Amino acid sequence: LHSAITRFSPARHIDEKYAQLLSEAQQRGVEILAYKAEISAEGMALKKSLPVTL
């Protein structure tokens, strides 16, 4: 897992269609949220809201 993530952006080079649809959803009023999470064998906890770049 990546622990140094500071923002969210869809990986266009992996899935262009997903990135396009995510942008369209935002343009139509869907709020796109991303969070840094701490994941362990016991569970997952959201730690910090991350900026989203589409």
Q: What is the pLDDT of residue 19?
A: 98
Its pTM stands at: 0.78
Rounded to whole angstroms, the Cα distance separating 51 from 37 reads 14
pLDDT at 3: 74
Q: Which domain holds residue 20?
A: 1-54
Number of domains present in the structure of the chain:
1
Question: What's residue 43's pLDDT?
Answer: 96
Residues in the chain, overall count: 54
Secondary structure E strands in 1-54:
34-40, 43-50
What's the confidence (pLDDT) of residue 4?
85
Q: Tens digit of pLDDT for each residue in 1-52?
A: 667 889 999 999 999 999 999 999 999 999 999 999 999 999 999 999 999 9
